[in-house]
Structure 1
C-alpha cells in the first residue's frame, strides 16, 4: 500500500491553509519524514510548488487518485516535530497561514523559488524553435510574455515548473598531502626548482603533523602552484563545507572569567539557577535599575545551564544592542555561541541556523526572530529589555517573541528570565498577581547613585540664553564634558533634518503622494523622503501651490541637530547613529566601536542609543525633546516616554565617574517626566495602572485590532462596518468595541485603512468569529481587500 505524506503547500490563502495528501513514490518510501521540504504539483493545471511535510500516514481519506511527490528538497528534516508543533500553534494564535509561520521559522535561504521554463511542445513551430534557439529549455522570464502565452496555447511550447532552492553551502579548498616519499620527489626536481622543493617540504611537514590546511590560510605557496602540484599527484585539493561566521574573530579570544557578584546579584542568580537545575518552567521578572549588573546575572545563569548539560537562549530587542551583547556572551562562551539577527547576510543566518540545528552551538543570542532558533534541550530562556515593542512583529504572523518564548519554555520545562529596568505594565502586573516571580536589583553594582536628572522647561529656555534646539544648561554641560575629555550621549527620537517643509505664504505642506503624511527633509541626500513607503523627491525651491520662494523647514531631526552641534561646539567630534547612518551591514558596530575607542566626544542618535550601551567615559546624557512620544495619540504614550527617558538616563555615570542627565521638555509637569526624573518606576507603575483601570485598557483588558484596507476608501469603509456588525453580534455585552474608524494615518501606499479595536476579558466566541471573518474575506483578496488581525497590538495607530 502506498504511503501518504501530509503536505502544507506554499500557497498562502485561507483555502489552502491545511495539509493536502500526496502519494509517496516507491523510490522515496522510507526517505520522507515530517519536517522535510518537497516539490509537488498543485491544482488542476501544471502548477508546481514547494511544500512542507507535516505528517506521514499509511492511508488517505481522499477517495480519488493522489498526486505523487515530485522531488524531495532535503536529506533530513529542516523542522523537528517540536518545530512543526510550534508553527501550528503560531498559526492558530496569530490568525496567520500555516505555511507563512513555517517560512518565518526558517532562514530565508531555505525558501524555494519557482522558475517557469518552456520546452518544445507536441506541435512545435518555427517561431517556437527560433525562441528556444536550440536550447532544450529556456526560462520564461527571458522571453516575450505575449509570444510565450500564444505558443503555449497552440501546444508549440510546453510550460514546465522547476524548483530553485536558495540554500547554498559555502565551501573552501583544503590541501590533503598524498602518500608519497616527498624527499624522493624532491630529488627528481631540477636544481633551480626552489618553489617546488619548498612546497614538498611543506607537504612532508603537514603529513607528519596530520595537518590538512585551508588553501586560503597558506601564505608561502600560491594557488596556481598548488593546482600544478595536484596534477603531479603530490596532493589533493578537497572542497569542504565552511561556515560564514559573522563574529569569527571573537571566537578565538581568551574567555572572560565570571565576575564576583554583589549579595543582591548572588541571591537573584541562585534563585534562577535553582529553577534551571530543577527544570521548572517558572517565569522570573528581573527588575534591575540601569547598571545593576543584569548582564552578569544572565551570563552566570547561562553557564549553570551549560554545566547541567543543557543549552541557553537570549533575546535582545535591537540590532544596535547586539554587537555589545554578542561581545559579552562570546567573550564568556566563545564559539559555543550562535548569533541570529537581521543585520547578518542570508548566508550567515543560514550557517548560524545550521550550527544550531546540528548541535554545534549551545548558546543563541539574537533579536526577535531568534525565538524560533532550532535549539534543543534548552535549560534557560532570557529576554533582555523585555518591555521593548520591537519584540512584536508588525507583519503576519503578528507574534510577540515573549509569547513564543513562554510557549517554548513550557514545552522544554525551562525557566524564563524577563529582564528590564522598566518592565512593561503587563509583565509587572503579572508579577503583582504572582503569575511571574519578581526579582529585584535596586542598586548599581558600583554602589554609585543613579545620576541626577535635571528638567529644563523649554518654554523659558530661549529667554535664558538657549540657542536653537539647545538650552543653556545643556550647552554648558556639553562644553564642560569637552573640557574634561569626557563623553556625552544626546538622544532625539526623530531622524532626518526637519519634520516637514512648509510654505510661509500659503501654508502648503509637502505631502507624500502615496500616504497621508508629510515628507521628511534629509539634507544628506538633498531630498524629501516618506518614512512609510520610501517615496523620495527633490527639495522644492518654489511652493508647488502658490509659487512663493518662502519655503521653510520646520521641526527637528538628528541631521539638523548634528549640524547645530558643529556650529555651537566646533571642537566637538560628533557621531550620528540613526537608521540613515546604519543602513549598511555592520553600521551599528562601526559607530559604537568608534565611540567606545574615544574617537568622538558626542554620540547623537535616536532611541536605538537609549539602552544596553555601556561606556565608562559617558558622564552626560541629554534628551533634546522629551515630548515627541507624549504627543502620540496612543494609550501607551506615557509608558513608552517614561521607559525611554529612564533607559537613556541610565547610560550616564556607569563607571567611576559621576553622571548627569539633562531632559529638555515643554511639559515639565507631566507625570511620566516627573517619575523619570526621580528614577521611580514603582511610582509610575502605580499611577499608570490607575489611569489604565479607569480607561479599561491593558493590562486590565485583552485587545484585538482588526484592520481592513483597499485602494478605494468607500470599499474599505463598507467592509469594516460589515465585519463590525458580524463581530459585535458574537460578543458579550462585557466586550468594548472602539470604532470602526479611519486609522491614524488613513492612507498608506495608496491604500485606505480602517480599523476597529475589541477590548475584552473573556470572549469564548471571539477567536472562532475572527477566523470565520478572515476566511470569508480571503475570497475578496482578488478584489483588492486586505484584512489583518493583530492580537495584543503594541499600538492602536
Structure 2
C-alpha cells in the first residue's frame, strides 16, 4: 500500500505541515503529486493536496488513516506548481495550504464531486474497445459517472481516462453543492442527410423558417446550438423546438465550454515591421527565448513606444519552439482592447483569466490551458499560476502596478513568482512599463548601489514613440492662482477652454479624478460633526445617485442626513469632489455634453467595462471620466486632451511610495493623449505645482524623478535600499493588541541582539530595526482595532526573514488563544 503526504486545507500555522495517509489499492493509479483528495481530519472529511508520494515511507501504511477519495481524474497541480507553493510559503511566511489554494480556480475550492461523461462526438478506437470494454460500456450506460465510483469499479483505468480527457473523448463535470457547474447548451443534433431531405419534403411550403432551418442543417450537418441556429436563419427558438417536436431533429442539452469570447469575431493580425528602436529592444529578448537560457529584462518604454508589439513577437518566438507564454496585465488594464490584440494574433491558442469572468468561465479557460488547447494565458495576477508545462516566456505589462501584489494571504508579488517560475523553466521574463517601479529601475540601472531585490533585470530602453509621434504637451495649472482670480469651480479656466475647443472639433477627452462618489466627506458647519463609519475609522463618502453615505472599506451605508445627528442643525454640507460631482458639473458647464463615467460604482456589473469602452471607441461620448481605471491600457485615436483634477490628492498619504504612485499615475494618464495622428495635450490641475512628482510628469522626465526619489530612499533606508516586513494585529480590545505587539517586538529584538545585528550598521544603513507596535494608519476596520509592527532591515546583512518566521510561530499560539488576527506582509506595497 502506497503513502500520500497531504497538506490539508486548514489554514492555521499549527496544522501547516503534511500528514501521511495510506492510499487504498483502488486509488493507487489515480493519486499522484498535485492530486486533490478527501481525507479524514479531526473528525471531519476535508480537502487536501498531495505534496509527495514517498516510495519508502517510514511509517507502516497499515497504521495510517486511508485517503477517502480522489477529487479529480487529472491532478490540478503539477509537481512544479507544488514545489512553487512550498517556495511561496517560505518566501511570504504563509501556510503552505494557503499558497497551494491560491493556484486553484475558484470552481475547485470547497466541497466538490467530479463526474466523467463521454463527449458528444467521442469516437472509440478498436484498441480502446479491446482494452477497456467494460469501462466504455459503463461510461455509455451510466454517464455521467461519479469519479469515485469509476475509480472503484475500474482501478486500473486511470491512465486511459486521463488520456481520453486530454484527447477530448471524455468531458469532466463538477458538482458543487448539488449543482452541476458545467454549462449546458440546447443543441440541435441533425439526423443525417437522408432524414433531413425527407423532412424538407414533408414540411409545408408556408412553414418558411422551418424549411430554412432544415436547409441550413443540410449545408452545415454538424451539431449546432439551438440559439445559434435560430440566429443563423433569422427565427426564434420556438421554430427549432417545433422541428424537434415533429421528430425532424433531436434537441439535447450538451455540455459546452463557457468561452467568454465565443460570440466575438477577431480580425487576424500579422506581425508589424519593427522600428529600429523596437528591433534593438527585441533582439536580446529573442535570443533569450531562442536559447532557453532564461533571464529577466526591464523594457522601459514611454507610452506609445510599441512595447505590445515586442511582446507579441516574443510570444510568437516561444510558440514556434513548442513552448507556452504567460502575459500578465493589471486587472484594470485588462480591457477588451488588450484581449483583442492577443486574440487577433494567436486566435484560439489564447486563454483569458480575470475576475470579471464567472467562476465557470474561468474554470473552463483554466481547463483549456491544462488540456493543451491553449498555449498563451493572458490575465491578471493569478494567471501566473497557469498550468503550463513548457513555459518559454512570461510578460508582465505595467510591471510597476501595485495590483500585482496580493493583499490577502498569500501576500505574494506576481513579479517575484514569475521570476522564480521562469528560473525553473529556463524561460525569459519581460517587465514592461513607461514608469518602472523604483525597485526594478534601481536593480537594472544602478546595480552598483546594491538595491535590495530578488529580481535582477537587464535594462532595455525605448525612449521615443513610434512613427515619430511627439509626446503630448503638458501644462500645469496652479489652482491657488485660480482661487486668487476668483475661480472656485473644479475646472480651471484653461481646462474649460480646452474642453470647449475639443467639443467644437469633435475630438475626445479623458478626465481623471481618483475619487469616486459625489463628496468625499459630510460635515456640520455649526458644530464640526463629520459623518464617520461606525465600524471603521474613516469618513463616509456621499453618493448622490443612491442618496447614501457609504464606507468604501466595509460597505456600511446610511441615508443622507437632513440635519446634523449631533446638534440638530440644518447646516449640514457636502465637501470634497468625487467623480459623480464632476459628471454633474460637466453637464452644467457644457449643456448636451456626452459623458461616460467609469469607476467602481458604474463598472460593477459583468461586461460594464467593455460596454462603456466600446461606446467611447465608437465616439458615442465626448468625455471619458473616471478613476485610475481610465489611466491605463486605453488607446483611442480621437483622444487629444487629458485633464487631471486634483493631481496631488494622494501625495500626503502616510506611505513612502505616495510620490512614486502619483508620478506613475500622471504619466500613464498623460500617455492616453495623442497616440495617433492627432496631437495631444494634457492639463494637470494641482495645488503643489513645484512637487517633484508633478514637475517631472510635466516634462515626461522619469530619469530625473527616479534619481531624486532613489536618493531620498537611500537616506531613509526604504526599498529598494532596505527591506520591510509588516505585521498587523487586529482585535476588538486595544490593551490585548498592545500586549501581544510588545511581546512580538521584544522577542524579535532579542533575537537580533543575540546575533549582534540590532540597530547596528556600517555607514548610512541601519542593519535591523523593529518599529512599533503603533496604531495602523487606519486604526480600526470592520469593528477591529489594528496595531502594526514594522521590521526594517538589509536583507544581505541579517537573517531577519528567519527571525520573523520563528517569532511569528511563537506569537500565533497566543494570538489564536485570544482570537487576535495576525497578518504578515513581506515586502508590503501598501502601508495603510
TM-score norm. by structure 2 comes to 0.85
Residue pair 2:328, 2:380 contacting (<8 A) in 1 also: yes
**1:6 Cα deviation after fit:** 1.4
Whole-Å separation in 1 of the counterparts to 2:250 and 2:306: 53
Instruction: Map 1:598-747 onto structure 2 (within 5 A).
Output: 598-731=619-752, 732-733=757-758, 734-747=767-780
What is the CA-CA distance between 1:577 and the residue it aligns to? 0.8
Check the 8 A contact 1:113/1:165 in 2, yes or no: no
Q: How much does 1:186 deviate?
A: 6.1
Could you say which residue in structure 1 is the equivalent of 2:386?
Answer: 373
Matches within 5 A, 1:572-611: 572-611=593-632
Partner-residue secondary structure (3-state), 1:446? helix
Q: For residues 318-359 of structure 1, what are the alpha-carbon distances to aligned partners after superposition, in whole Å with 9 as ceiling and x for unaligned?
A: 234432210111121122111111111111100110001111
Alignment deviations for residues 126-153 of structure 1 (CA, whole Å, 9 cap, x no partner): xxxxxxxxxxxxxxxxxxxxxxxxxxxx
The 3 A distance-change label for structure 1 pair 222 and 671 is: closer
| Residues 50, 163 of structure 1: 8 Å contact kept | no
Deviations 1:18-49 (A, max 9, x none): 11111212222222222221112111x3x111
Map of 1:421 onto structure 2: 434
Alpha-carbon shift at residue 392 of structure 1 (Å): 0.6
Asked if structure 1 preserves the Cα contact closer than 8 Å seen for 2:324 and 2:375, the reply is yes
- SS class of match (1:51): strand
CA distance in 2, matches of 1:293, 1:188: 59
Which has the larger displacement, 169-178 or 547-556? 169-178
Indicate the SS of the match to 1:57: coil
Against the structure 1 CA distance between its residues 540 and 236, is the aligned structure 2 distance closer, same or farther, given a 3 Å change threshold? Answer: closer
Deviation of the 1:232 alpha carbon: 9.0
Listed as ranges, the gaps of 5+ residues in structure 2 are: 114-174, 448-455, 759-766
Between the aligned partners of 1:651 and 1:10, the Cα distance in structure 2 is 45
Whether the 8 Å contact between 1:730 and 1:766 is mirrored in structure 2 is no
Answer yes or no: is the 8 Å Cα contact 1:498–1:521 preserved in 2. yes
Count, aligned residues: 745
User: Does 2:260 align with 1:246?
Assistant: yes
Deviations 1:253-308 (A, max 9, x none): 33012222211011112221111111121111111111111111111111222222
SS in 1 for 2:319: helix
CA distance in 1, matches of 2:199, 2:830: 75
For the 8 Å contact 1:746–1:754, the answer to whether it is kept is yes
Question: Structure 1 pair 255/228, CA: closer, same or farther in 2 (3 Å)?
Answer: closer
Question: Is the Cα contact below 8 Å between 1:320 and 1:588 reproduced in 2?
Answer: no
Pair 1:211-2:211 in alignment: no
Q: Which residue of 2 aligns with 1:505?
A: 526
Alpha carbons of 1:484 and 1:37: their partners in 2 closer, same or farther (altered >3 Å)? same
SS across alignment from 2:640? strand
CA distance in 1, matches of 2:304, 2:8: 49
Of the three residues 802, 806, 825, the one matched with 1:768 is 802
Secondary structure (helix, strand or coil) at the match of 1:628 reads coil
CA RMSD in angstroms comes to: 2.7
* Worse-matched range after superposition: 757-766 or 436-445: 757-766
State the shift of 1:185 in Å.
Answer: 6.2
TM-score after normalising by structure 1:
0.88
1:563: which partner in 2?
Answer: 584
Unaligned runs of 5+ in 1: 116-161
Determine if contact 1:170/1:244 at 8 Å carries over to the other structure.
yes
Task: Assess if the C-alpha contact under 8 Å between 2:200 and 2:215 holds in 1.
Answer: no
For 2:283 and 2:178, the matched residues in 1 are separated by: 47
Aligned equivalent of 2:418: 405
1:26 alignment counterpart? 25
Give the SS at the match of 2:396. Answer: strand
- Structure 1 pair 664/190, CA: closer, same or farther in 2 (3 Å)? closer
Asked if structure 1 preserves the Cα contact closer than 8 Å seen for 2:186 and 2:254, the reply is yes
**Segment of structure 1 superposing worse, 234-243 or 446-455:** 234-243
- Of residues 186-195 and 309-318 in structure 1, the stretch that sits farther from structure 2 once superposed is 186-195
One of 267, 275, 278 as aligned partner of 2:288:
275
Shift of the alpha carbon at 1:204? 8.7
Within the candidate set 45, 49, 52, 1:48 is matched to: 45
Shift of 1:472: 0.7
Where do residues 106-125 of structure 1 align in structure 2 (5 Å cutoff)?
106-113=104-111
Residue 136 of structure 1 corresponds to none
Q: Distance in 2 between matches of 1:56 and 1:497?
A: 58
- Aligned partner of residue 102 in structure 2, secondary structure: helix
The superposition leaves residues 643-686 of structure 1 with CA deviations (integer Å, 9 ceiling, x where unpaired) of 11111111111111111111111111111111111110001111
Counterpart for residue 37 of structure 1 = 36
Secondary structure of 1:264's partner? Answer: helix
Counterpart in the other structure of 1:457? 478
CA distance in 2: counterparts of 1:71 and 1:285, whole angstroms = 46
* Whole-angstrom distance in 1 between the partners of 2:77 and 2:787: 37
Contact kept, 8 Å, 1:359 with 1:376, in 2: the verdict is no
Distance 1:680 1:79, change over 3 A: same
Alignment partner of 2:363 out of 314, 329, 350:
350
Distance 1:575 1:174, change over 3 A: closer
- Matched residues in 2 for 1:580 and 1:320: separation? 17
Contact 2:210 2:243 in 1 (8 A): no
**Partners of 2:792 and 2:707 in 1: how far apart?**
21
CA distance in 2, matches of 1:696, 1:657: 45
Partner of residue 304, structure 2? 291
Q: Corresponding residue for 1:157?
A: none
Contact 2:729 2:820 in 1 (8 A): yes
Q: What is the CA–CA distance in structure 1 between the aligned matches of 2:228 and 2:583, rounded to whole Å?
A: 44
Moved more, 394-403 or 288-297: 288-297
8 Å CA contact 2:696–2:702 kept in 1: the answer is yes
Quote the Cα distance in structure 2 between the aligned partners of 1:183 and 1:335: 32
Q: Does the residue aligned with 2:468 lie in a helix, a strand or coil?
A: coil
Q: CA deviation at 1:771?
A: 2.4
- Residues 1:324 and 2:337 aligned together: yes
| Contact 1:319-1:342 at 8 Å conserved across structures | no
Secondary structure at the residue paired with 1:21?
strand
Q: Deviations over 1:726-748 (max 9, x none)?
A: 11122213212222211001111
Is this contact kept in 1: 2:744–2:808, CA < 8 A?
A: no
Residue 79 of structure 2 is aligned to residue 99 of structure 1: no
| 2:266–2:340 CA contact under 8 A, matched in 1 | no
Alignment partner of 1:777 is 2:811: yes
Match of 1:79 in 2: 77
Question: In structure 2, do the counterparts of structure 1 residues 231 and 625 end up closer, same or farther at CA, with 3 Å as the change threshold?
Answer: closer
Aligned residues of 2:396 and 2:415 also touching (Cα < 8 A) = yes
8 Å contact from structure 1 (residues 177, 203) kept in 2: no
Superposition map of 1:217-256 within 5 A = 217-219=228-230, 240-250=254-264, 252-256=265-269
Deviation at 1:595, TM superposition (A): 1.0
Paired with 1:477 and 1:293, the residues of 2 have a C-alpha distance of: 28
By how many angstroms is 1:179 displaced?
A: 6.9
Which piece of structure 1 moves more, 749-758 or 223-232? 223-232
Equivalent-residue separation in structure 1 for 2:196 and 2:303 (angstroms): 66
Deviations 1:597-640 (A, max 9, x none): 11111111111111221111111111111111111121111111
Cα distance change on mapping 1:26 and 1:564 into 2, 3 Å: same
